[in-house]
Structure 1
């Protein structure tokens, strides 16, 4: 399995469509056997899904993500774990241990072409509850 994590300075980057790089993890028998950082420069929201599909990615782990990007990943057959923050390596380990929740926090305004503007250092949106529910700014 190949996993891609939005990546910056060792951490999960907080917004899928704005990430400048991904860290790719090759996983066999539920163990990471190698990893590498690749640039995503020059790719937009929709093109990132095609880029990742061509790279053989089967799962994306990211912070926030918009509805258009979710749809593009779904169409490409790529699984998604969103609303994740902290260390990228630890996020992958948590996934392999079954500890990442199936929550996809998405605000309707992400689809309008702008970001939430309140992403925390841990990659969370800052307006979503721990259960993935939206705060008062979401529709």
Structure 2
């Protein structure tokens, strides 16, 4: 199983659409982290909706994020990727919390475009 975490310098990025990279962690059958990779999103729309098919093609099944707009949540879920929002801290700590079942999601939706007009529905 693979999980993806929008990240910036080893921390969970507070907003999916503005992350500098996605940390992709591969878990083995015992849910131990066995591989860590980084995916730099392509330039363009701040909402990063163009990265969703790439994440799905890589086999990502879970995305742990700080926050994101409803459009991004919809695209991820339509691609079979479960979304957990409200994560903060180091990538490794957040992943370990999710693995342990102690990471809870909040259902707050980011409605701001943070100066990136033209993205459509986040």
TM-score bracket, shorter-length normalisation: 0.7 to 0.9
Distance across 2 between alignment mates of 1:77 and 1:14: 22
Equivalent residue, structure 1, for 2:19 = 19
Deviation at 1:98, TM superposition (A): 0.3
Partner residue of 2:118?
Answer: none
Deviation at 1:102, TM superposition (A): 3.0
Residue equivalent to 1:34: 35
TM-score (norm 1): 0.75
Deviation at 1:38, TM superposition (A): 1.7
The match for 1:89 is 92
Task: Give the structure 2 partner of residue 127 of structure 1.
Answer: none
More off after superposition, 91-100 vs 44-53: 44-53
Q: Which runs of 5 or more residues in structure 2 are unaligned?
A: 116-122
Residues 72 and 43 of structure 1: CA distance in aligned 2, closer, same or farther (over 3 Å): farther
Alignment of 1:105-116 (within 5 A): 105-107=108-110, 109-110=111-112, 114-115=113-114
Q: What is the CA–CA distance in structure 1 between the aligned matches of 2:44 and 2:27, rounded to whole Å? A: 25
The question of 1:55 aligning with 2:58 is answered yes
Asked whether the equivalents of residues 87 and 105 of structure 2 are also in contact (C-alpha less than 8 Å), the reply is: no
In structure 1, list runs of 5 or more residues that go unmatched.
117-139
CA change 1:47–1:24 in 2 (3 A) is: same
> Of the candidates 94, 98, 102, which is equivalent to residue 105 of structure 2?
102
Equivalent pair of 1:20/1:41 in contact (CA under 8 Å): no
